[in-house]
Structure 1
Amino acid sequence: MSLPPIASLSSSPEHLQKILDLLFEPCPTLYTLIASSLPRTFSSYPEFIDFAADKMLSLVDDEDKIQKIIAAHPRLGAKKVDSKQSSEEQKSLQQGAEEEKRKLEKLNNEYEGKFEGLRYVVFVAGRPREEVMKDMRERIDRGDREAEKKAAIKAMRDIAKDRASKLQ
């Protein structure tokens, strides 16, 4: 699996959905948001990813759309993850004792209760479960919904850039 040349994005918009699915997660709302802004040329995938993140940030006050985009990401530590990329990135969270898995599940539930409609999104890529859970705890305790939406978009941008570097 690899990304087509960045030039194909502006010359063949039909590649857009495949590219967005590889870089982010499959999400019709994100596709519609980005497709409405093309055609436009980009010199690199990082530039395109920054563009997409800026478009997402422009929706931060549109709860319905931003929730759909953020919720497209799988729950951390989920047993079933549809995206091959997310599954690889979360490998470190699947290992370890059952007690730690239960703690992560409890934190996910607490996070989603505190920030209804959102999902905790963070750049994992092999980070230890303890570090991720500490970050989640801090974000729950901070209790700032607007900051959470922005943090999720920033994490999505970072994840996409990491994926792009591996898929080129």
Structure 2
Amino acid sequence: MSEFQLPPIEVVPTLSTIERSSILDALFEPCQALRTLSLDVLHTQKFDSYFDLIASVGVQLTELSESPSTSDTEWLDQILGAHPRLGEKKVDSAQSKAEQAQLNTGGEEEATKLRELNAEYEKTFPGLKYVVFVDGRQRPLIMEDMRSRIDRGDIKLERAEGIKAMCDIAADRSAKLQQP
């Protein structure tokens, strides 16, 4: 994990824009579209916990997914697409690097299959990347899940699963990044 630690939840509304951006980047992924969507909420709302903050962002994302506006859908897809590809070797966020480390331990055959699944997923769901809360699950189980989601072919359901996974990942990160 990174050296970054989340500040106490009660000070979040008083933080600078840069500090609030750092919180969003650490919990989710660095993404300008997410910052634009959620920075103001972190400034104007008080939260009892980081889980409440994450739930509030989840509500914003769900509202985008349920909106009839194409621009809202495109906005959401930018946010969901900010996650690195599963099994990617070059990952920018320290949190994602640590989370994906276990996925990069299999053989080259599995790595090739994962790259192929990522490509097929992104062709099936243009603008999205497969997002899942890894949480110790092994590569074959994750690839099975990816295969079933590709075969299902339901982009609305895929966006909903992506939002849930992002929030689950953020909740896990918040537990690891809070000051002792």
Fold agreement, TM-score > 0.5: yes
1:8 offset after TM fit, Å? 1.6
Q: Structure 1 residue aligned with 2:23, among 19, 23, 30?
A: 19
Aligned equivalents of 1:113, 1:83: Cα separation in 2: 24
2:100 match = 90
How big is the alpha-carbon RMSD for the aligned residues of Structure 1 and Structure 2? 1.0
1:59 match = 64
1:68 maps to a residue whose letter is Q
1:127 offset after TM fit, Å? 1.3
The Cα offsets for residues 122-150 of structure 1, whole Å up to 9 and x where unpaired, read as 00132100010010011011110000001
TM-score by length of 1: 0.97
1:64 maps to a residue whose letter is E
For the pair 1:166 / 2:176, whether they are aligned, the reply is yes
1:96 offset after TM fit, Å? 1.2
For the pair 1:2 / 2:5, whether they are aligned, the reply is yes
2:50 maps to a residue whose letter is Y
The Cα offsets for residues 96-121 of structure 1, whole Å up to 9 and x where unpaired, read as 11000000001001000000111100
Aligned equivalents of 2:164, 2:46: Cα separation in 1: 22
Listed as ranges, the gaps of 5+ residues in structure 2 are none
2:109 match = 99
**Maintained 8 Å contact 1:91/1:126:** no
Q: Give the 3-state SS of the residue equivalent to 2:44 in structure 1.
A: coil
Could you say which structure has the higher helix fraction?
2
**Maintained 8 Å contact 1:13/1:39:** no
TM-score by length of 2: 0.90
Q: Structure 2 residue aligned with 1:47, among 24, 35, 52?
A: 52
Listed as ranges, the gaps of 5+ residues in structure 1 are none
Aligned equivalents of 2:11, 2:145: Cα separation in 1: 38
